[in-house]
C-alpha cells in the first residue's frame, strides 16, 4: 500500500460509492448522451446485489457516428494552442488528485481489484496526466486525427483515460471503448474533462459489454490510430491492425508475462513474487504471469514453496484490508475459468475451488489454480487466457528455458528469478523491446507506459 494511503478516507469513499445514485451509461458522442434503448444492468463483481445502474448497449453503427463526430471536432481542437490543451489536462489531473479515493473505490467495486491495486491504478493515471500536461507545450510534430482507444479490463482507468489524455494533449480527438464490465470510472473522468472545459466531440465513449464493435471502430475510415490495451479475444483481433501502414498503432496487449526461475538466492521469496505476479487482480493485470519456467533442479523446492505460499493467499472481498485477490470480473470469465480447469484437471496441482466466506457468497470468488505437467504441445503453455491460472513448465537447462521463452506469447514483459548474473543478462538480451523484471514481482511494472504525447504526433 502507498505510504500516504489514508485508510479512513478510503473507507469513507467506499461507503459513498456504495450509496451512490444509480445512473444510465449510454454512449457519449459529440458531447451528447446517446441512448440505445437496450439496457444491461451494471452489476459489481464484488457482490451481485450492488448495481451501479444500466449500460446502454450501443446499436450497430454507433462507433461510426462517434468516429465521425470526433473527426469533425478534430478540425477545431487541432488548432487550439498547446497552452490551452495543457490547461485542460492539468485541471483534470488536479481533480483526480482530489478524488483519488473516490475513483479507487469505484474501481474496487467495478473490477474486484483489491485496495492497493485500485489506488495504484489511480496514481498511475495521475502520473500520465501530469506528463501529458507538461509535454503538451513542448512536443514537436502535428496531431494525426481521431484515435480509437480500446482499453478493456486489464487497466480500465490508467490506460483507457491515460492514452486518451496523451492523444488529446497532442491535439487529436478520441473515441474510447472502455471495459464493458467496468466502464463507470471512464464516465467519471469524462465529466471531469467536461468540467475542465474540453469541447464536445473531443472525447467520445462507446461502451460495449460484449466487445462486439471493437473491430468496427479500429477499421473505421475516420480513425487514424488505434491503442489496444488489455487481453481477450477482442485484443487478439486487434493485433492484425498494424498491417495498414497508414494507421498508427500502440500495442499494450497482455501476454503470458512468463517468469524464469533458475537458481534464485531465496526460493521462498521467488515463490512469493511469482504468486503475486500470477494472481493479483485475478490474472487480468497487464503484467499478470500465467507461466513459470523452472529448472528441473529447482522444481521440487520451488513447487513446495509456491503451494505453501498459495495456501495463505487470501481470496476475499477486495474491500477487506487483508485481501490479496478478489473475484472474477464476470460470468463469462467464470465460464472460461471452469472450462480451463475441466480440460486440465489431470494437471491441477492446487486451487480452482469456490471460496465461500461471510462476504464472498454473492460474487465469483475462486482460489487461484496452479497446474504442472501439461503436455509440451498444449496451447495453454504458450498462449495467455487472462485468467487466475499459473502453468509450471519444467526444463533441464537455462538454454532450454530461453528456447521455451521464445515459443511463448510473452506480451509486454518477462521476468527472471536468479542469483546468476549471466542468466539474468541472457534473458535481458533475448527480451528485445519487452520489459524485464528481476527478482521481484510484475506488480512493479505500470500500465500506459506508451501514453506519451510524442506517440500521437507525426
Percent of the chain scoring above 90 in pLDDT: 86
pLDDT of residue 236: 72
> How does pLDDT run across 70-88, given as a tens digit for each residue?
999 999 999 999 999 999 9
Question: What mean pLDDT do residues 327-344 have?
Answer: 96
> How does pLDDT run across 153-163, given as a tens digit for each residue?
999 999 999 99
Reported confidence tier of residue 444, pLDDT bands at 50, 70, 90: very high
Expressed in angstroms, the distance from the first to the final Cα of the chain is 39
| Residue in this structure with the C-alpha cell 541472457, named with its chain if needed | 426
Question: Over 60: is that where the pLDDT of 243 sits?
Answer: no
Question: Over 60: is that where the pLDDT of 93 sits?
Answer: yes
pLDDT of residue 212: 80
Reported confidence tier of residue 329, pLDDT bands at 50, 70, 90: very high
CA-nearest of 97, 107, 131, 109 to 4 is 97
pLDDT of residue 1: 67
Question: What mean pLDDT do residues 376-392 have?
Answer: 96
Q: Which residue has the higher pLDDT, 346 or 238?
A: 346
Reported confidence tier of residue 242, pLDDT bands at 50, 70, 90: low
Question: Over 70: is that where the pLDDT of 245 sits?
Answer: no
User: CA of 159: how far to CAs of 108, 162, 212, 413, 452, in Å?
Assistant: 16, 5, 20, 16, 11
The grid coordinates listed for 70 are: 470526433
> How does pLDDT run across 392-415, given as a tens digit for each residue?
999 999 999 999 999 999 999 999
The answer to whether residues 147 and 165 touch, using CB atoms and an 8 Å cutoff, is: no
pLDDT of residue 238: 73
Taking the C-alpha atoms of residue 116 and residue 406, their distance in angstroms, rounded to an integer, is 33
Taking the C-alpha atoms of residue 387 and residue 233, their distance in angstroms, rounded to an integer, is 13
Reported confidence tier of residue 209, pLDDT bands at 50, 70, 90: confident
Taking the C-alpha atoms of residue 130 and residue 267, their distance in angstroms, rounded to an integer, is 39
pLDDT of residue 411: 94
Question: What mean pLDDT do residues 166-172 have?
Answer: 98
Query: Where in 183-295 does DSSP place strands (E)?
Result: 203-205, 223-230, 248-253, 259-261, 291-295
Reported confidence tier of residue 244, pLDDT bands at 50, 70, 90: low
pTM: 0.95
pLDDT of residue 235: 75
Question: Over 80: is that where the pLDDT of 330 sits?
Answer: yes
Taking the C-alpha atoms of residue 442 and residue 434, their distance in angstroms, rounded to an integer, is 13
Question: Over 70: is that where the pLDDT of 207 sits?
Answer: yes
- Running DSSP on this structure, what letter comes out for residue 360? T
CA-nearest of 71, 74, 64 to 220 is 64
Question: Over 80: is that where the pLDDT of 232 sits?
Answer: no
Question: What mean pLDDT do residues 93-106 have?
Answer: 97
Question: Over 70: is that where the pLDDT of 241 sits?
Answer: no
Question: What mean pLDDT do residues 336-347 have?
Answer: 97
> How does pLDDT run across 266-282, given as a tens digit for each residue?
999 999 999 999 999 99
| Residue in this structure with the C-alpha cell 485475478, named with its chain if needed | 282
Reported confidence tier of residue 213, pLDDT bands at 50, 70, 90: confident
Question: Over 80: is that where the pLDDT of 237 sits?
Answer: no
Amino acid at each position: 500500500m502507498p505510504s500516504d494511503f489514508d485508510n479512513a478516507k478510503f473507507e469513507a469513499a467506499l461507503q459513498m460509492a456504495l450509496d451512490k445514485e444509480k445512473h444510465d451509461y449510454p454512449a457519449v458522442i459529440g458531447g451528447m448522451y446517446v441512448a440505445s434503448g437496450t439496457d444491461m444492468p451494471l452489476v459489481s463483481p464484488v457482490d451481485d446485489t450492488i448495481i451501479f445502474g444500466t449500460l446502454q448497449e450501443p446499436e450497430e453503427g454507433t462507433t461510426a457516428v462517434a468516429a465521425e463526430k470526433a473527426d469533425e471536432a478534430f478540425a477545431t481542437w487541432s488548432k487550439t494552442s498547446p497552452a490551452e490543451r495543457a490547461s485542460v489536462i492539468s485541471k483534470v489531473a488536479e481533480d483526480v488528485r482530489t478524488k483519488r479515493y473516490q475513483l479507487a473505490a469505484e474501481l474496487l467495486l467495478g473490477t474486484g481489484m483489491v485496495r492497493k491495486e485500485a489506488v495504484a491504478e489511480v496514481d498511475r493515471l495521475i502520473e500520465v496526466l501530469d506528463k501529458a500536461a507538461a509535454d503538451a507545450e513542448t512536443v514537436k510534430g502535428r496531431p494525426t486525427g481521431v484515435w480509437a482507444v480500446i482499453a478493456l479490463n486489464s487497466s480500465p482507468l490508467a490506460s483507457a483515460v491515460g492514452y486518451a489524455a496523451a492523444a488529446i494533449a497532442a491535439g487529436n480527438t478520441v473515441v474510447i471503448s472502455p471495459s464493458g464490465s467496468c466502464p463507470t470510472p471512464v464516465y467519471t473522468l469524462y465529466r471531469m474533462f467536461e468540467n475542465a472545459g474540453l469541447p464536445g466531440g473531443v472525447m467520445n465513449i462507446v461502451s460495449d459489454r460484449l466487445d462486439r464493435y471493437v473491430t468496427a471502430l479500429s477499421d473505421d475510415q475516420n480513425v487514424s490510430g488505434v491503442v489496444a490495451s488489455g487481453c481477450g479475444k477482442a485484443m487478439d483481433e486487434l493485433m492484425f491492425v498494424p498491417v495498414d501502414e497508414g494507421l498508427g498503432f500502440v500495442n499494450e496487449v497482455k501476454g503470458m508475462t512468463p517468469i524464469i526461475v533458475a537458481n534464485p538466492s531465496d526460493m521462498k521469496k521467488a515463490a512469493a513474487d511469482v504468486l503475486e505476479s500470477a494472481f493479483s487482480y485475478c490474472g487480468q493485470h497487464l503484467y499478470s504471469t500465467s507461466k513459470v519456467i523452472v529448472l528441473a533442479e529447482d522444481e521440487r523446492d520451488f513447487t513446495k514453496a509456491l503451494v505453501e505460499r498459495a495456501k495463505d493467499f487470501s481470496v476475499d472481498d477486495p474491500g477487506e484490508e487483508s485481501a490479496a485477490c478478489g473475484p472474477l470480473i464476470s460470468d463469462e470469465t467464470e465460464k472460461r475459468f471452469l472450462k480451463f480447469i475441466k480440460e486440465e484437471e489431470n494437471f491441477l496441482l492446487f486451487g480452482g475451488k469456490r471460496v465461500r466466506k461471510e462476504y464472498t457468497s454473492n460474487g465469483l470468488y475462486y482460489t487461484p489454480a496452479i497446474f504442472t505437467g501439461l503436455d509440451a504441445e498444449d496451447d495453454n503453455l504458450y498462449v495467455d487466457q487472462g485468467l487466475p491460472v499459473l502453468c509450471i513448465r519444467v526444463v533441464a537447462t537455462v538454454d532450454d528455458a530461453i528456447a521455451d521463452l521464445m515459443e511463448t506469447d510473452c506480451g509486454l514483459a518477462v521476468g527472471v528469478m536468479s542469483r546468476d548474473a549471466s542468466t539474468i543478462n541472457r534473458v535481458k538480451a533475448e527480451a528485445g523491446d519487452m520489459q524485464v523484471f528481476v527478482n521481484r514481482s510484475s506488480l512493479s511494472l505500470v500500465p500506459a507506459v506508451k501514453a506519451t504525447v510524442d506517440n500521437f504526433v507525426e
